[in-house]
Structure 1
Amino acid sequence: MSEPFVFDPRCDLCKEPFGAAVCGTAVTFHCRPLASEHFSHCALVAVCEFSGTRQELELSLEGPAGERICFSGVFSAPPQPELVWYHFRFWREDGTGCVLDKTGYRSDGETDPWQLTVYRESRTPGWFGAGVTYQIFPDRFCRLSVPNPDGLVGRRWVHQDWDDTPEWRPDPDGEIRNRDFFGGSLTGITSKLDDLKALGVTTLYLCPIFESASNHRYNTADYTKIDPMLGTEDDFRALCAQAKERGMRVILDGVFNHTGSQSVYFNADGWYPTLGAAQSQDSPWYSWYRFLHWPDSYDSWWGIHTLPAVEESAPSYVDFIIDGENSIIRRWLRAGASGWRLDVADELPDWFLVKIRAAMEETAPDSVLIGEVWEDGSNKISYSQRRQYLLGSETHGLMNYPFRTALLAYLRGGDADDFREAMETLRENYPPAAFYSAMNFLGTHDTPRILTLLGTDHTPESKADRADYRLLPWERSRAAAKLRLASLVLFTFPGSPMIYYGDEAGMEGFEDPLNRGTYPWGHEDRDLLAWFSRLGALRNGYPVLQTGALRWLCTAGPLLAFAREDGQVRLVTAVNASDSPCSLELPWAADSAQDLLSGSSFAPDAGRLVLELPPRGCLLLS
């Protein structure tokens, strides 16, 4: 809050409605400076970034309010999606005055304005944000037999031992090519659907499944073909169908910013019999790439030579990926997918995302589009352009890296109020549907394993040492206790809780590829697995955890407590991240309180509930 009680955009005494505004709707502002400041006038100064317009709206002086005076006015949100940056200007009858922005009163000619997100209302599928998502790295989840890599694109080899460490060492040329495979398959995933159902999973998010020369498959070789080591299109259709029979959906990873150099489209090594862009300028795919000097110098993703960047504006590429009757977006939705997660969405043009969303809504109206963005997606700048992911015509939601960053900081000794502030910033900036459709998580294929991060106080310097590193028993015990806290917050917070495969089983590992080991079937951490299963059942069993309003109750040092509310239904998450016991006092109108995690009951006294949380203890109160 700037200048106590003068203006706070999160307080309904100062701004209504809370947060982002729908195009064309009225937003009411109230400012309450001290009467002793002798301000006689106040104006809202609003700058619309996309249209480049500026508006100054003088607020009406409503009169005294105790030791303060109140200025009020109604601002009409622009009719088109916008980012509105606003501050206030105060002045007196003698012409003196100042401005008020996020930093307080100032008269230096600078401003640090507040943000008002203006979005177009559109339909967002409710199933994704309400449910539990499970991310699978297909090669490492479940294999039913050891595959033969002969005759496939890329110089692949297969680990015979499922429990091997993924290959992290460079090859003789000094390159890390990710050509070691373990043989996980789509039929393997299908065989484990009942296990995933028991975990509470409702959405499977699969890392890329299309033909590719590498085990991660983010260097696509053929978008039209399931990688043969994973199976066939029939296997994919069967997976989606059997998942739907269990109330589960499948979303795919779309990598449309770049392809692999060993793809049918680029074909750098001539593996495919057709002419790729690197072989002939007459190739039908030549226009898909930006050559600086053909054929050996071209634009690539982050300068990685094996990942040539595509020219998204090439008409034939747009038709192939999006617009065509049997485009990649449409084809795999028809095959059974229920949505797409867009890899490196911040490197795809806005118009490209708009087209993808439109094609999805035409083909499968209930499908969901999630973007990979690592920051606050409401004001992200990429390639010098402010992005418009969440303004109504692009993604339904984003991967919530800010959630992970803030929660980890809190669990590793930070202040719970910093977590609250980070989340309130998103809640204020995001349209409500986007906030509730965020993909929340503790880890992904791009981050170290959450158990390793929570258990170790240092990172070994060499990759070899990191590859061999395993938590000591006491470190693992500490990490598991913190993981229970983290996962409770994950499963009770707005947005879809996403489990990175194996985190629930106690998998460890530092950075890629050490975080991409094989699922330890038969060797899971049974206590952790039971904990995650319990959380999944609670999330699916209590609609208030899926769609209920968020209310903060306590954010002080190691103590974090918030409620999810829907009418008379209220569940409270309470966490103590400290190594010492902590007391927590909460207002409680009901006659009793029950912890849904342990079954313990508590009796409030005179409308107050006094709790003693043990070290790294937590409750989910009903």
Structure 2
Amino acid sequence: MSFAEHAIIWQVYPLGALGAPIRPEAPEPVTHRLPNLASWLDYLVGLGCNALMLGPVFASVSHGYDTQDFYRVDPRLGTEADMDELLAAAQSRGIGVILDGVFNHVSNTSKYEALTTGSSFEGHDILAELDHNNPAVVALVVDVMNYWLDRGIAGWRLDAVYAVAPEFWAKVLPQVRQQHPDSWILGEMIHGDYAEYVQSSGIDSVTEYELWKAIWSSIKESNFFELEWTLGRHNEFLETFVPQTFIGNHDVTRIATQIGQEKAILAAVILFTVGGVPSIYYGDEQGFTGLKEENIAGDDAIRPPLPAEFSPLGKWIENIYKALIAIRRQHPWLHQAHTEVVEIENESLTYKAVGAEGQELLVQLDLQAVSARISEGETELFSYTAS
């Protein structure tokens, strides 16, 4: 049985969530912030999640995607011992930890300079692209992935996988799976041929940005026909692989900012009733808001510090998430469920989630009433109408 079959992910951007300085003027001293993340593991379990996907945790210059050392925990977060304790605490609760592997590029001041192409990534001067045609880069990535899998992580999110030829991963992953056959490997794919990349590279899954966009856009623009089209694509993907599904992550405007807190509930209903490996971006289940902007500090609002405890104002949303996750847990076949549209208008959509053995849930969404209903036969499992 694959780890991903029963995984429901809580995604956290550690540098932001733990209040680390993102753009320090000078190297920061070691600050033990990771233990504060361990204190959130019981909350994660209480939601119904069993996987923790972390943004970058390795030594870097600023936002974490400018790596300087793949084998060292960022001193702004703590030490390797802090990471070991976090992994042990997660394992004791049945939580799998997924790390962010930024293997397309590194800091232009890293010790890996000799392994880079000398060119910058997507115009970012501080990021130097690794030379994926160099066998030494293959060896480095294999070693890094196995090193942290040996220390107890459950898998990897591969950053910017769309920018790396799948042939590179076809060299790397067999060597990783030889030692860790059960590790789950997720690739960040913003665009491209998802299914072809999965088949050519050997990764397990990709981030399904197509579905993310269709969910919020169809609700915001009152056009469920956009979602219907994308759900057809989603069904096709499920024939080849099970995508990672989401309505928020560390790179996009918060769902509650895009469409409002009440309609964001409808987005969550879709997330938990279609096939995929669903993930929740920390705070979305509390109604967090935040606008992504295109400037040097443009991600700060969507990567905020975790509070000492959440405000009671978000409790109603948290309770809805718990109810939706409980339905997902009670119907594990939803992992690979196909979606059949029954009725559709611009502002209303009814679809069936259909399992491989004929299981069915009926989902009804209405944008005018801002309502959602999930039923199984004659039994109503979930009902929501905005106040």
TM-score (norm 2): 0.88
Of 241, 250, 253 in structure 2, the residue corresponding to residue 448 of structure 1 is 253
1:265 paired with 2:112, answer yes
SS of residue paired to 1:597: strand
CA distance in 2 between partners of 1:148 and 1:367 (Å): 32
1:483 pairs with one of 264, 270, 274: 264
Does the alignment pair 1:420 with 2:225? Answer: no
* Alignment gaps of 5+ in structure 1: 1-124, 159-180, 267-285, 291-297, 380-387, 455-478, 599-612, 618-622
Measured in 1, the distance between the counterparts of 2:240 and 2:37 equals 30
Which letter maps to 2:78?
G
Structure-2 change in CA distance of 1:433 and 1:132 (3 Å): farther
- Where do 1:433-512 residues align within 5 Å? 433-434=240-241, 437-454=242-259, 479-511=260-292, 512=299
Equivalent-residue separation in structure 1 for 2:59 and 2:334 (angstroms): 38
Decide whether the 8 Å contact of 1:447 with 1:515 is kept in 2.
Answer: yes
- Residue 251 of structure 1 pairs with residue 39 of structure 2: no
2:33 corresponds to which residue? 185
The size of the alignment, in residue pairs, is 378
Residue deviations 1:112-150 (CA, integer Å, cap 9, x gap): xxxxxxxxxxxxx6331542111111023347xxx899x
Shift of 1:202: 1.5
Once the 2 structures are TM-superposed, how far is the Cα of residue 217 of structure 1 from its aligned partner?
0.5
1:155 is aligned to 26
Aligned with 2:52 (options 198, 201, 204)? 204
1:344 deviates by 0.7
Tell whether the 8 Å contact from 1:129 to 1:438 is kept in structure 2 after alignment: no
Alignment-derived partner of residue 564 in structure 1: 353
SS at match of 1:262: coil
* Greater fraction of residues in helix: 2
Distance 1:503 1:236, change over 3 A: same
The Cα of 1:392 is off from its aligned counterpart by: 5.9
State how far apart, in whole Å, the 2-side matches of 1:202 and 1:580 are.
30
Q: Does 1:126 align with 2:2?
A: yes
Structure-2 separation of matches of 1:210 and 1:347: 21
**1:315 alignment partner AA:** P
Indicate the structure (1 or 2) with the bigger Cα radius of gyration: 1
Counterparts in 2 of 1:43-442, with a 5 A limit?
126-142=2-18, 155=26, 185-214=33-62, 216-266=63-113, 286=114, 288-290=115-117, 298-322=118-142, 327-378=143-194, 388-391=196-199, 393-428=201-236, 430=237, 432-434=239-241, 437-442=242-247
AA partner of residue 360 (structure 2): R
Where 2:229 maps in the other structure, the secondary structure is: helix
Q: CA deviation at 1:549?
A: 4.0
CA separation in 2, counterparts of 1:130 and 1:373?
Answer: 22
| Residue 594 to residue 209, structure 1, CA distance change in 2 (3 Å) | same
Structure 2: give runs of 5+ residues left out of the alignment.
293-298
Deviation (angstroms), 1:307: 0.6
Q: In the TM superposition, what are the counterparts of 1:1-12 in structure 2 within 5 Å?
A: none
Sequence identity of aligned pairs in percent?
A: 27
Counterpart mapping for 1:524-535 below 5 A? 525-535=314-324
Write out aligned runs for 1:22-61 (5 A): none
Q: Could you say which residue in structure 1 is the equivalent of 2:301?
A: 514
CA contact (8 A) 2:32 2:78 kept: no
- Cα distance in 1 for partners of 2:38, 2:376 equals 47
Deviations 1:423-470 (A, max 9, x none): 212322x25251xx211111211111111111xxxxxxxxxxxxxxxx
User: How far apart are residue 359 of structure 1 and its match?
Assistant: 2.4
Q: Measured at CA, do residues 570 and 431 of structure 1 come closer, stay the same or move farther in structure 2, by a change above 3 Å?
A: closer
Question: Any conservation in 2 of the 1:138–1:184 contact (CA below 8 Å)?
Answer: no
Quote the Cα distance in structure 2 between the aligned partners of 1:574 and 1:136.
31
**Cα RMSD, aligned residues only:** 3.0
Highest relative contact order (Cα 8 Å, sep 6+), 1 or 2? 2
